[in-house]
Structure 1
Amino acid sequence: MSWSRRLLTASAVGAGALVATTFAAGTAGAHGAMFGPASRVAACYAEGPETPKSQVCKDLVADSGTQPLYDWNEVNIASANGQAQQIIPDGHLCSANRDKYRALDWARTDWPATSVTAGAKTFNFRVTAPHQGVMKLYITNSSYNPTQPLKWSNLDLANPIATFASPRTSDNGYYNVNVNLPQRTGRQLIYMVWQRTDSPEAFFGCSDVDFGSGTAAAAGAFAAQAPNAPTEAQIAAGTGHSSVSHYGHGGDALTAQEAAAGTATTGTTLPVDNSTSNLLLGMAGTGLLAATASGVLLARRMRNTAVTA
């Protein structure tokens, strides 16, 4: 192989590495979970990944290890792009169809459940990396049976209990989401879909709640204990065991006004905007063109030098 061809090959390989690095940097990260009412993964993490208390959390660790709990803020699909219903099959909603989090899909009545009543409430989402996006919360309908795998048809998709426009800042690490809980009885489930509008990535979560007055069959064979949310000390202590990033923002740098703002408020649904993905693609493409052009230019110079000699 001639030097010019070798150089062009090396340039292409280097450019490919640049593209891979660019996209890898864009997909790393983890960004939050519902703490009030606590999601399944957050509740089990709060019990302690190494020494969980409830039977269901013990079984989760026995089945999947402790890593899903240390990565409590990562239940995501990087390329969801608003197509959650199309890409997540029935029975796999709580795990976002990811094998790592498969235990979250277990249809059991001993998941720790938060006691609630109908009416206006404020839910608390612990956000470790704020992003512009739309968070929708759904509640199960009359077809829901906690002993059966959760299906999309079990959710009241036409009437979300909250639609929250998430900003790129948070209120001391939380999004405070106003919801309106309808009348229900017994154990129900709150399903969260947080679709970013600065990238195709989306996050998902399941929080078990109990309206009371349920039948003995609905209550199940196990008495569920009320869940706790992780403390800030627990979050800090587990960061070193996490395999995902706990910090950062989506999109470009915050403006001075955004950095000064701290309170997250509800808003209208935002249009899907893949500007971050387009920016990464542009950066990768620019790097590829620059690397290839440099290789071609250098190869020509070497060939001309060889001819002159």
Structure 2
Amino acid sequence: MPIRRKAAIAVVVGSPLLFMALTATPARAHGSLDKPVSRVLACYQEGPEHPASAACRAAVAVGGTQALYDWNAVRLGDAGGRSRQIIPDGKLCSAGVDEFKGLDLARADWPATPMSGGPFTFSYKATAAHKGTFELYITKDGYDPTKPLKWSDLEDQPFATATNPPLSEGSYTFSGNVPRRTGRHLIYSVWQRSDSPEAFYTCSDVVFGGGKQGGAAPAASAPSDRQLAAGAARSSMKDMPGMRPAANRPVPNGSAAEPRGTSLAETGSSGGTTALGLGGAAAVAVGCVVVLTGARRRAAGRNRS
């Protein structure tokens, strides 16, 4: 076979594998708002197995403890900027994902963060850095926390927006001016990735001074990094910094499911897949060189003879 033909075959065979390996990315883009703290993080801080507040105990009774261990996974892999179209009313806090349905409970006693109108620095706990835009919405005047949260309960436009904010010590930080409110309200965040259709969602309960408070509720607190690390082994997210991959486990409804985060369509390939891909691509590249070198040597030998 002519040298050029052998080289062409080697390149055709090797190029796709090399391309896939070089473009593979770890499945590690996850997080949740921790200032003001989201419902899922506030309940995690209380202890997934035995939450202290009535609202968090009710959420676990409905959705199970796994939802709290998977605090950074309230997401949709195919959102693509269509959050309002694909998340039904009444399911905004869970993003319509069954595992997190306990977060949708309409109650006036969710642990809440004291809030006032004006400048505020927000913090978003992230387990990986990715490009994207954060949008924060607040509930309108007259919001009733005892009714299921609907899109129409939120202002039409975000009051704070940040694209690719700085990431420091595991958290994104950005500023915004919080609208003036009284009583109990809710801040809803959408983190839409720009390198993937995947988006993440949080509900943060807040209480402004004055007005109707909507019932007694404990103050919300964010978990420490030590607390998050202590529960990392129970997370079903794979390839997270500080987290070990979890084996397949039953989802709350009892049906078998893969660990969240393993779908390439949702979050990209895992770090292990990347390593394997790069190793395979390297082997292919070496094989191409061997084929070309051997063919050239045989050709040179024939020419000398």
Q: Displacement, 1:30? A: 5.2
2:114 maps to which residue? 115
Tell whether the 8 Å contact from 1:129 to 1:246 is kept in structure 2 after alignment: no
1:147 maps to which residue? 146
Query: Aligned runs of 1:41-80 on 2, under 5 Å?
Result: 41-80=40-79
1:239 maps to 2:232: yes
Aligned equivalents of 2:55, 2:100: Cα separation in 1: 14
- 1:203-249 residue CA offsets vs partner (Å, 9 max, x unmatched): 0000000002122xx523xx10101101011011111000003637x
- 2:234 partner amino acid: H
- 1:70 partner amino acid: Y
Tell whether the 8 Å contact from 1:239 to 1:246 is kept in structure 2 after alignment: no
1:10 maps to which residue? none
Tell whether the 8 Å contact from 1:126 to 1:175 is kept in structure 2 after alignment: yes
Per the normalisation by structure 2, the TM-score is: 0.69
**Root mean square deviation, CA, Å:** 2.6
Q: Displacement, 1:26? A: 6.6
- 2:185 partner amino acid: Q
- 1:91-137 residue CA offsets vs partner (Å, 9 max, x unmatched): 11010001100011111001001111111010111111111000000
Aligned equivalents of 1:245, 1:119: Cα separation in 2: 38
SS state of the match for residue 103, structure 1? helix
1:33 maps to which residue? 32
Per the normalisation by structure 1, the TM-score is: 0.69
1:177 maps to which residue? 174
Q: Displacement, 1:170? A: 1.5
Unpaired runs of 5+ residues, structure 1, are 1-17, 249-273, 291-309
Pair 1:108–1:27, CA change in 2 (3 A): farther
Percent of aligned pairs with the same amino acid: 52
Aligned equivalents of 2:200, 2:88: Cα separation in 1: 15
Aligned equivalents of 2:218, 2:144: Cα separation in 1: 19
Tell whether the 8 Å contact from 1:133 to 1:195 is kept in structure 2 after alignment: yes
Tell whether the 8 Å contact from 1:30 to 1:244 is kept in structure 2 after alignment: no
1:103 maps to which residue? 102
- 1:198 partner amino acid: D
- 1:231 partner amino acid: S
- 1:51-95 residue CA offsets vs partner (Å, 9 max, x unmatched): 210011111222222100000011000010000000001111010
Aligned equivalents of 2:91, 2:28: Cα separation in 1: 22
Pair 1:213–1:171, CA change in 2 (3 A): same
1:137 maps to which residue? 136
Aligned equivalents of 1:37, 1:176: Cα separation in 2: 12
Pair 1:155–1:246, CA change in 2 (3 A): farther
